[in-house]
Amino acid sequence: MIILKSFLKRFWWVILIILFVILSVTIYILLIPEKGEQIKKEIDHYGDSSYSNKLPDCPPDLSGLLTVSMIDIEYLASLTPLGNSNPPGHTFPVDHVYFEGYGQMGDWPRMPFYTPGDSIISEVMQEKSYDVDGDIIQTTYAIDFNLCKGVKVVAAGVSELMPKLQSEVDSVKPDCKSSKGKHDGQATITQCGYELEYWSKAGEQIAWTGIDQIPEVWAFNYNVEPDKNVDWERYDYNDYPYAFCMFDLYSGDLKDILYSKFGTYAFKKYEDKKLEERKEKYFLPRTIEPICGSPHQNVYGTVQGDWFSSDMGGNDNPEFSGDGLSLIHDNIDPSIGKMVIGGNFAEVGIILPR
C-alpha cells in the first residue's frame, strides 16, 4: 500500500495526461462522427468493403480480365492516350482514356454499352449539369466495375441505364452533392452516388451511350505502391496515384485491335485550297511506348512533372483553381515536351517548342 501511494505521488502527472488523452478521444468520437464516417468511406473506397470478400484474388498477370469492348469496334475511330492536357481542368496529365467516333460530337449513333469483364458494379454516379437559369443541360452516368480485389474500371459517358440496373439504382438512397460547373455552359453540377452490389457478366448490355455523350474510362490498381517521391496528398484526388491503362487488361487479338486505335485524327494542311475544302482528316497514331500513354510523369530530381503555386496541400480542385503547372510530354507524340499552365502563373494555355 505504501509502495502504491509512493508511485501515485511521483507519477500523478503521467496518469492525468493519460486520462486527458482518453477523454479527448472520447469527446472527439462523440462530437465529430463525420470524421469517422469519412475514414470508413476511404477504407471502403480502397476495396475493404462488404463485397470485397466476394471478389476473386487478382492474378499476377492482369491481362485477360477484360474480354469485351465497351462499345462495338465499328463505331470506334480512335482512343486518346493517357496524359492528355486541357487546362485549367486538365493541367496535370489526364488519368483516363477518351473514346472518339468518326464524326464530331453529336454525330454518334445511339450505341449499346457493354460490361467489359465479369465484375461487381459497386457504384453508379449520376451527374446532372445545369445552366445559369437552372435548366438541365445533360444527365450522364459513371459506373464502377470491380474485377478482382483491388482492381476496378470506371466508365463514364453513359446516357441511359438498362432497366435491370436502373431498378437496382432506384432502390438505393443516394449520397448527393453540388458544385460549380466544370465546363463551358455549366453553372452548377449535381452528383449523386448510388452504392450497390450488382453482379454483371462480360458482354451484358448495361447501358446506352452515344448521341451527345463521349465515353471515357479509368482503371485503378490499389495493390501497387505509389511513387514515394511524390506528395500525392497535394492532388486532393485519392485514386490518381493508382491509375493505369485500362486497355492493358485485355489480351490477344482484341487488345491488338484496341491498341491500334491509340492516336488522334488531324486535318490535312492544304496551302493551295480554300478553307471550305480543307476537311480531309488523317489518323495520327501514337508510336512511342507506352502506346497507351502515361498519367504519371513526375521525375524526382528534375523539373519534369506537376507543380503547384501554393505550399498548401488538399486544395479543392487545384487544377480548376489555377494552382497547377506541368512540364510533361505530349500524349500523342511524347518526343514533344510542353508546358501546361493552369492560370495563376500566366494565362491558361499550353506552350509547345517551335
Cβ neighbours around 334 below 10 Å, total: 19
What gap in Å lies between CA 181 and CA 171, rounded to an integer? 28
Q: How far apart are CA 137 and CA 131, in angstroms?
A: 6
Name the residue with cell 474485377. Answer: 147
Cα 168 from Cα 170, distance rounded (Å) = 5
The pTM score is: 0.80
Instruction: Name the DSSP letter for residue 302.
Output: S
Taking the domains of the chain in order of start, what are their residue ranges?
2-44
Q: Quick: pLDDT tens for 14-70.
A: 444 444 444 443 443 344 344 344 433 443 444 455 677 889 999 999 999 999 999
Beta carbons of 139 and 147 less than 8 angstroms apart: no
According to the model, what pLDDT value does residue 322 have?
A: 62
Give the pLDDT of residue 44.
45
Query: For residues 85 and 342, is the Cβ–Cβ distance under 8 A?
Result: no
H/E stretch holding 41:
helix 33-45
pLDDT digits (tens, 9 = 90+) for 184-206: 667 788 899 999 999 999 999 99
Q: What are the beta bridge partners of residue 234?
A: none
List Cα–Cα distances, 225 to 28, 96, 229, 246, in angstroms.
31, 19, 11, 18
Q: What is the pLDDT of residues 326-353, one digit of tens each?
A: 999 999 999 999 999 887 666 677 767 6
Average the pLDDT over 231-254 and give the result.
92
CA 96 to chain CA centroid, Å, is 6
